[in-house]
């Protein structure tokens, strides 16, 4: 029977290092949910916390309303498919699949019925009596999947299950996994770093980076309306250009080139702002007119269905452009072109300094000596899809707020302080998740750690200061 999975303010530490801080998430009953991100982002750590293989240093994981923190793995009723399959080489297909059922003391007749049924579902019934060494990688993966499902788990966990297969078999198996999951209807949590794989199998995706969920949404939402530059760059391919959003002739326009601007009056009215524009390669059109961004073809590569161009703009920026292939020869290098942009598909990331505070003098070992840093407390994504971006070192550097090295100092300090004052906040009914106190992701109303040097931390929420934490008891 499937369940919903609730993550409430989850914290994971390895010794003194916090790798996941204040993560909250809900996975729906029967949903195929994928944790996607680069290596080291925390996705497998989170999966292992669901399985019970990793400890939980803070927060709660619940299946429906049942808190699982203290429940041992064997009592969580989960099925697990590992990256290396973990098939028993000395058992045939039937006995590999039946292994979990035998451990649960299921009757022989019931084991026979369930095994036969699941082998038909995963389409390997003809190999029932074969040994694993005589089967292909895809067939072995189906054994592992059948063994995980046959016990009728509440949750199915899959950790990079296709990474050991060749490219064509990966495509075949991801289609098979999605079809099988749809048939059995088990709540599934799937881990991968492969964006295309995640897009193909998932109902929803959580994109992770450095232990923080950057965005949760359907594959279409994440691809077409990424919440920040990291998501835009990580999912598929994109070009990030710095441009200016300004007022011209009673209209709000995006200045793409000296002779090319886009009407953006459908956006909330802005003052003159620097923006970062995300344009996917397929969202360009090579113009046959005089309108567009001027550029020169640097390279063209024919891929059959389309042609990939590298174009150098007048600004010196290089962009990737994908055009549908025709019977004509691709444009040659050094060909001058004009590029039009599909305005409705643009994603604009606008960062604006809302408030600052004197952030650091020396305070114990947690502050860098002799530094005064301004801390950006709010950044807003203003496009027709709405959303909130990630405050990155690139953003801060671009705005001249702080250097990348200063950013790392502040990030380290903030994490340490929020961990120390956690109990104080909880006593006041303010969880880190509620006030978004962790540095980095900023959603809607935000919190500010302010005036560290005066020995207190003020918490800002819903347009007012709601709590003050006296820091003397945490620092000597």
Query: Hey, what domains does the chain have and what are their CATH numbers?
Result: 5-233 (3.40.50.300), 234-348 (2.40.50.140), 351-470 (no CATH)
Where is pLDDT greater, at 421 or 339?
339
- Does residue 326 carry a pLDDT above 60? yes
- Min mean pLDDT across 178-182, 300-304, 468-472 is at 468-472
Where is pLDDT greater, at 369 or 395?
395
Where is pLDDT greater, at 130 or 459?
130
Question: In 3D, which of 458, 393, 423, 364 has the Cα closest to residue 11?
Answer: 423
Residue 149: how many other CB atoms lie within 10 Å: 25
Question: In 3D, which of 440, 416, 69 has the Cα closest to residue 228?
Answer: 440
- Does residue 34 carry a pLDDT above 50? yes
Mean pLDDT along residues 2-21 = 89
Quote the CA–CA distance of 172 and 139 in Å, as a whole number: 11
DSSP state at residue 276: E
pLDDT tens track for 235-254? 989 999 988 888 877 788 88
Residue 459: how many other CB atoms lie within 10 Å: 22
Helical H runs in 296-439? 393-398, 404-420, 422-427, 432-435
Residue 60: how many other CB atoms lie within 10 Å: 14
pLDDT at position 258 is 83
Question: In 3D, which of 472, 456, 466 has the Cα closest to residue 436?
Answer: 466
- Does residue 183 carry a pLDDT above 60? yes
Q: What is the 3-state secondary structure (H, E, C) of 357-378?
A: CECCCCCCCCCCCCCCCECCCC
**pTM for this entry:** 0.70
Contact between 173 and 194 (Cβ < 8 Å)? no
Cβ neighbours of residue 375 closer than 8 Å, sequence gap 6 or more? 356, 357, 359, 410, 448, 449, 450
Cβ neighbours of residue 376 closer than 8 Å, sequence gap 6 or more? 351, 353, 354, 356, 391, 395, 396, 399, 401
- Does residue 294 carry a pLDDT above 50? yes
Q: Which band of pLDDT confidence, cut at 50, 70 and 90, is reported for residue 370?
A: very low
**Percent of the chain residues past pLDDT 90, beyond the cut:** 37
**Percent of the chain residues past pLDDT 70, beyond the cut:** 72
Quote the CA–CA distance of 318 and 240 in Å, as a whole number: 10
- Does residue 264 carry a pLDDT above 90? no
Mean pLDDT along residues 415-437 = 51
pLDDT at position 177 is 87
Quote the CA–CA distance of 192 and 169 in Å, as a whole number: 16
- Does residue 310 carry a pLDDT above 90? yes
- Does residue 375 carry a pLDDT above 80? no
Report helix, strand or coil for 465. Answer: strand
- Min mean pLDDT across 143-152, 197-206, 242-251, 448-457 is at 448-457
Quote the CA–CA distance of 337 and 273 in Å, as a whole number: 28
The phi and psi torsions of 56 (rounded to 5 degrees) equal -120, 120
Sign of CA dihedral 158, 159, 162, 164: negative
Report helix, strand or coil for 53. Answer: coil
- Does residue 448 carry a pLDDT above 90? no
Phi-psi domain of 353 (left: phi exceeds 0; alpha: psi -120 through 50; beta: other)? beta
- Does residue 346 carry a pLDDT above 90? no
Quote the CA–CA distance of 427 and 98 in Å, as a whole number: 49
- Does residue 354 carry a pLDDT above 80? no
Q: Which band of pLDDT confidence, cut at 50, 70 and 90, is reported for residue 468?
A: low
pLDDT tens track for 116-173? 998 988 888 999 999 999 988 888 888 988 898 898 899 999 998 888 778 888 888 8
Q: Which residue has the tokens 């444009």?
A: 331
**Average pLDDT, whole number, for the chain?**
76
Contact between 193 and 39 (Cβ < 8 Å)? yes
pLDDT at position 62 is 95
Q: Which band of pLDDT confidence, cut at 50, 70 and 90, is reported for residue 347?
A: confident
Q: Which band of pLDDT confidence, cut at 50, 70 and 90, is reported for residue 473?
A: very low
DSSP state at residue 229: H
pLDDT at position 420 is 57
pLDDT at position 59 is 92
Quote the CA–CA distance of 331 and 337 in Å, as a whole number: 9
Q: Which band of pLDDT confidence, cut at 50, 70 and 90, is reported for residue 350?
A: low
pLDDT at position 405 is 65
Mean pLDDT along residues 351-376 = 26
- Min mean pLDDT across 73-77, 133-137, 387-391, 463-467 is at 387-391
Question: How remote is the C-alpha of 195 from its chain's centroid?
Answer: 10
Mean pLDDT along residues 313-321 = 94
Question: In 3D, which of 244, 246, 254, 210 has the Cα closest to residue 228?
Answer: 210
Q: Which band of pLDDT confidence, cut at 50, 70 and 90, is reported for residue 71?
A: very high
């Amino acid at each position: 029977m499937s369940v919903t999975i609730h993550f409430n303010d989850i914290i994971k530490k390895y010794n003194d290092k916090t790798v996941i801080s204040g993560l909250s998430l809900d996975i729906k009953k029967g949903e195929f949910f994928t944790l996607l991100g680069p290596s080291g982002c925390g996705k497998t750590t989170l999966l292992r916390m669901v399985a019970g293989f990793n400890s939980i240093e803070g927060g709660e994981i619940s299946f429906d309303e049942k808190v699982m923190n203290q429940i041992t793995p064997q009592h969580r009723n989960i099925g697990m498919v590992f990256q290396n399959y973990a098939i028993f080489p000395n058992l045939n297909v039937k006995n590999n699949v039946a292994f979990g059922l035998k451990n649960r003391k299921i009757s022989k007749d019931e084991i026979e019925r369930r095994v036969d049924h699941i082998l038909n579902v995963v389409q390997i019934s003809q190999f029932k009596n074969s040994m694993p060494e005589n089967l292909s990688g895809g067939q072995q993966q189906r054994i592992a999947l059948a063994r995980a499902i046959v016990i009728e788990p509440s949750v199915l966990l899959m950790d990079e299950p296709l990474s050991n297969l060749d490219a064509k078999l990966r495509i075949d198996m991801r289609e098979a996994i999605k079809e099988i999951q749809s048939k059995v209807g088990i709540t599934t949590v799937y881990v991968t770093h492969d964006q295309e794989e995640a897009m193909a199998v998932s109902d929803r995706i959580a994109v992770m980076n450095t232990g923080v969920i950057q965005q949760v949404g359907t594959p279409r939402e994440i691809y077409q309306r990424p919440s920040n530059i990291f998501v835009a760059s990580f999912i598929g391919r994109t070009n990030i250009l710095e441009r200016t959003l300004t007022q011209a002739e009673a209209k709000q326009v995006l200045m793409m080139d000296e002779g090319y601007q886009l009407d953006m009056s459908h956006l909330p009215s802005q003052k003159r702002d620097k923006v970062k524009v995300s344009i996917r390669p397929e969202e360009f059109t090579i113009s046959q007119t005089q309108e567009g961004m001027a550029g020169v073809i640097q390279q063209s590569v024919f891929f059959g269905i389309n042609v990939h161009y590298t174009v150098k703009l007048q600004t010196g920026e290089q962009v990737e452009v994908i055009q549908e292939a025709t019977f004509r020869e691709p444009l040659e290098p050094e060909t001058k072109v004009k590029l039009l942009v599909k305005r409705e598909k643009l994603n604009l990331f606008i960062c604006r300094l809302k408030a600052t505070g004197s952030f650091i003098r020396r305070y114990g070992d947690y502050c860098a000596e002799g530094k005064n840093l301004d801390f950006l407390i709010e950044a807003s994504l203003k496009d027709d899809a709405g959303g909130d971006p990630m405050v990155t070192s690139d953003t801060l550097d671009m705005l001249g707020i702080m250097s990348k090295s200063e950013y790392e100092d502040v990030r380290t300090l903030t994490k340490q302080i929020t961990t120390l004052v956690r109990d104080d906040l909880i006593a006041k009914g303010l969880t880190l998740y509620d006030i978004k106190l962790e540095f980095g992701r900023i959603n809607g109303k935000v919190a500010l750690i302010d005036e560290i040097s005066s020995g207190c931390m003020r918490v800002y929420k819903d347009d007012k200061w709601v709590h003050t934490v006296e820091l003397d008891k945490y620092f000597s």
